[in-house]
Chains A and B, each alone.
Chain A
Amino acid sequence: MDSATIPLDGNSAAGLFSEVFSVDLTVARATCAHCDAEGELGTLKMWAVEMGAVLRCPACGDVVLRLTSTPNAVWLDATGARSIAIPRA
């Protein structure tokens, strides 16, 4: 995989999110903890790696979310998001 060097959109992470969340997180709105930019997770820039993904803020480039899939757990590091607003279905 080479998309570690070329960014995709956060909407590519939808499959990974679906492993643990019953709602579609790509339409949830996150606020970047670094620059306060707000947008849907689908608009974040995503660097995919074999084990998961790093999603960065399109405005400032800081990491908003890190998602790692291991055999026993899916790890979600959301320290880069001040908040995530998940719309009710």
Chain B
Amino acid sequence: MTASSGLTTPRIAWRVATVRAVRQETTRTRTLFLDVLGWPGHLAGQHVDVRLTAADGYQTQRSYSIASPPEEKLIALTVEELEDGEVSSYLCSELRQGDELELRGPIGGYFVWRVPDGGPLLLVAGGSGIVPLMAMLRHRAAALAERTARQAVPARLLYSSRSFDDVIYRDELERMASNDDSLRIVHTITRDAPSDWTGARRRIDRAMLEEIGWPPSDEPRIFVCGPTPMVEAAASALVETGHAADRIRTERFGPTGS
């Protein structure tokens, strides 16, 4: 970093990111693969702030979790299009390959997981709250593939979606779990489950967490990400069942968050 002139010099600079590819994930979400000039690298679970500037100079910014693991060169952001979301609707419908946008990051050292942190790992996702948890699962899988982790950190993912078609990264998650005995993935569909759906059909609750999660005596590292009410409910249920509050890390997103 060059010499700073004073306290208000930004410590994390805004950088220009170029969209290299776009992938539709579900009807309401898509992933932007970004090439970020001078990207310093990130940890699984971190986020970036994206800033848009209109022609008249009006600026607005939002935070988005990084979906890609530290091992990948392009930064992947999976964005859910929100009704009346002025940033998300632009990112989801107008942005094209080759376009540029401004972002700063990586940001946040609290909601992160590295392979050496160990486990077992309990990941609890609601909707697009899967994004930072996917970075953790991809990081875990990359370490296994590169044999940098001598043995897999046992991991379980409990993932709540409104409908089966709203499950983000569905195929990749299935592939991940089928190749890995130490990873268990459980879906719950809260609104429109297919008629042949044999899995859970309700919101994440204490019984589900007790059935799928690890017992408190295993001292799992727990990451919960999703809409605020879901995160509050899951975090309280986990504390009630005996998990230490400091083993539970949460990331809530409000209507404007992710």
A66 to chain B, nearest CB (A): 18
Interchain CB contact under 8 A, A8 and B109? no
A74 to chain B, nearest CB (A): 7
* B255 at the binding interface (Cβ < 8 Å): yes
Interchain CB contact under 8 A, B12 and A15? yes
* A62 at the binding interface (Cβ < 8 Å): no
B46 to chain A, nearest CB (A): 8
Interface residue tally for chain A (C-beta within 8 Å): 29
Q: Mark B241-253, 1 if CB is under 8 A from A, else 0.
A: 0000010011111
Interface window among B3-11, B119-127, B160-168, B197-205: B3-11
CB contact under 8 A between A2 and B254, given known A15-B63, A74-B8: yes
Q: Mark B222-258, 1 if CB is under 8 A from A, else 0.
A: 0000001000000000000000001001111111110
B10 surroundings in chain A (CB, below 8 A): 18-19
B110 surroundings in chain A (CB, below 8 A): 9-11, 14, 24, 26-27, 40-43
B225 to chain A, nearest CB (A): 10
Interchain CB contact under 8 A, B108 and A24? yes
* B113 at the binding interface (Cβ < 8 Å): no
A10 to chain B, nearest CB (A): 8
Interchain CB contact under 8 A, A9 and B250? yes
> Which bucket holds chain B's interface residue count?
20 to 34
Q: A22 — nearest CB in chain B belongs to which residue?
A: B11
A1-26 CB contacts (< 8 Å) to partner B: 1-3, 6-12, 14-15, 18-22, 24, 26
- Give complex CA distance A42, B108 in Å: 8
Most buried by B among A1, A7, A14, A26: A14
A51 to chain B, nearest CB (A): 13
* B107 at the binding interface (Cβ < 8 Å): yes
* A54 at the binding interface (Cβ < 8 Å): no
B227 to chain A, nearest CB (A): 9
* B111 at the binding interface (Cβ < 8 Å): yes
Q: Which of B49, B109, B250, B257 contacts A15 (CB 8 A)?
A: B49
For the A-B complex, the count of residue pairs with Cβ-Cβ distances under 8 Å equals 81
Interchain CB contact under 8 A, A2 and B255? yes
Q: Which of A3, A18, A21, A72 contacts B257 (CB 8 A)?
A: A3
Most buried by A among B104, B108, B253: B108
- Give complex CA distance A48, B254 in Å: 10
B104 surroundings in chain A (CB, below 8 A): 15, 18
- Give complex CA distance A72, B256 in Å: 26
Q: B105 — nearest CB in chain A belongs to which residue?
A: A15
Q: B84 — nearest CB in chain A belongs to which residue?
A: A2
Interchain CB contact under 8 A, B228 and A11? no
A2 surroundings in chain B (CB, below 8 A): 254-256
B49 surroundings in chain A (CB, below 8 A): 15
Q: A16 — nearest CB in chain B belongs to which residue?
A: B49
Interchain CB contact under 8 A, A26 and B255? no
- Give complex CA distance A10, B251 in Å: 9
- Give complex CA distance A40, B254 in Å: 20
Can you offer 6 A-B residue contacts whose CB atoms are under 8 A?
A1-B256, A9-B111, A11-B110, A14-B107, A20-B7, A27-B109
B contacts, CB < 8 Å to A: 7-8, 10-12, 47, 49, 61, 63, 104-105, 107-111, 228, 246, 249-257
